């Protein structure tokens, strides 16, 4: 059974696969360690947390503050770095800009204390 992903849909990943010379091992790349259900659940939760982080509800913002680190440390580490690079490219963000945005979000959530 062939599980090769069509990388033409993901130009940044295709570029990184080519640069690293692993085109022939593409079937063995583990892009995510999350199941479809876990991925869908995590995306739904993140969507809710994003909305809660900008709400006027102090309790919602406090909850987001404590769960943000969980998602950053656990979910983020279960995604292949090439997939992460593609996501940043799709969003038009650099890694540095993403870190700045996370820092700004944490700063805003610190005002909740």
**pLDDT computed for residue 5 by the predictor:** 77
Q: Kindly give the residue spans of alpha helices, DSSP state H, lying in the chain.
A: 11-20, 36-53, 58-70, 81-91, 95-110
The predicted pLDDT at position 3 comes to 56
Calpha distance 22→29 (Å, rounded): 9
Per-block mean pLDDT, blocks of 10 residues, the chain (113 long): 72 90 84 83 80 78 76 78 85 85 75 57
The pTM of the whole model exceeds 0.85 = no
In this prediction, residue 1 carries a pLDDT of 44
Distance, CA of 113 to CA of 77 (rounded, Å): 28
Written as six digits, the tokens of 85 are: 């690079």
pLDDT at 103: 79
- Which residue, among 70, 52, 71, 72, has the nearest Cα to 112 in the 3D structure? 52
pLDDT value at residue 49: 79
């Amino acid at each position: 059974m062939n599980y090769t992903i069509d990388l033409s849909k993901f130009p940044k990943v295709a570029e990184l696969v080519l640069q690293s010379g692993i085109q022939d091992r593409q079937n063995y790349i583990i892009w995510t360690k999350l199941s479809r259900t876990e991925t869908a659940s995590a995306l739904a939760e993140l969507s809710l947390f994003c909305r809660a982080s900008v709400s006027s509800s102090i309790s919602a913002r406090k909850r987001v503050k404590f769960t943000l680190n969980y998602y950053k440390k656990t979910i983020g580490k279960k995604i292949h770095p090439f997939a992460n690079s593609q996501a940043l490219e799709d969003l038009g963000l650099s890694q540095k800009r993403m870190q700045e945005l996370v820092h700004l979000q944490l700063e805003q959530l610190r005002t909740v204390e």
